[in-house]
């Protein structure tokens, strides 16, 4: 697609190309965090984020917020969890959405916490450290989101 605008003045080619990859991944529904994109780039994370916002604005791209559920299969697979645990993690996230717990929270953090909680609920062996490593997010974030997800689960009306 040819673009009549010149996006490069004042920006590095690597920065624009990295931001474009991140935008394309988000538009395609391929869950990749900014940290993951940053790991394979030679551009600073802050520059990627700033250039991403610029590219989205200048090109008028419609990019929906990342869905935490889209990260669950990859995390569960990396941790070798069962389909039951994966399904349970998705249900925890759906409940969180219904309760409004997800608003303003990192999708990666929510997904990691849901995977950890689901593993515990299905009696599968994993640790916060293992989930933290797979999701590239802190154990503290997992602990905080984990408690919020379980509270949302308890607040559901009994049918």
Digit-coded pLDDT (tens) for 59-116: 899 888 888 999 999 999 999 999 999 999 999 999 988 888 777 788 999 999 999 9
Provide the CATH topology of domain 13-59: Cyclin A; domain 1 (1.10.472)
Residues 31, 89, 151, 139, Cα dihedral to 10° = -60
Q: The pTM is what? A: 0.79
Q: How many residues does the chain have?
A: 159
Digit-coded pLDDT (tens) for 114-137: 999 999 999 999 999 999 999 999
The residue ranges of every structural domain in the chain are: 13-59, 68-154
What whole-number distance in Å separates Cα of residue 30 and Cα of residue 115?
A: 18
Q: What is the dotted CATH code of the domain comprising 68-154?
A: 1.10.472.10
């Amino acid at each position: 697609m040819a673009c009549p605008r010149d996006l490069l003045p004042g920006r590095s080619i690597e920065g624009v190309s990295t931001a474009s990859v991140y935008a394309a991944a988000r538009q395609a529904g391929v869950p990749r965090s900014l940290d993951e994109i940053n790991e394979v780039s030679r551009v600073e994370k802050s520059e990627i984020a700033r250039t991403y916002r610029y590219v989205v604005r200048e090109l008028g791209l419609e990019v929906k917020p990342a869905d935490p559920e889209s990260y669950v299969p990859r995390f569960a697979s990396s941790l070798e969890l069962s389909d039951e645990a994966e399904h349970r993690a998705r249900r925890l996230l759906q409940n969180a959405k219904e309760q409004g717990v997800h608003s303003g929270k990192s999708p990666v953090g929510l997904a990691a916490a849901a995977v950890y909680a689901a593993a515990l609920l299905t009696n599968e062996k994993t640790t916060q450290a293992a989930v933290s490593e797979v999701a590239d997010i802190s154990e503290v974030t997992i602990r905080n989101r984990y408690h919020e997800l379980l509270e949302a689960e308890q607040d559901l009306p009994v049918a």
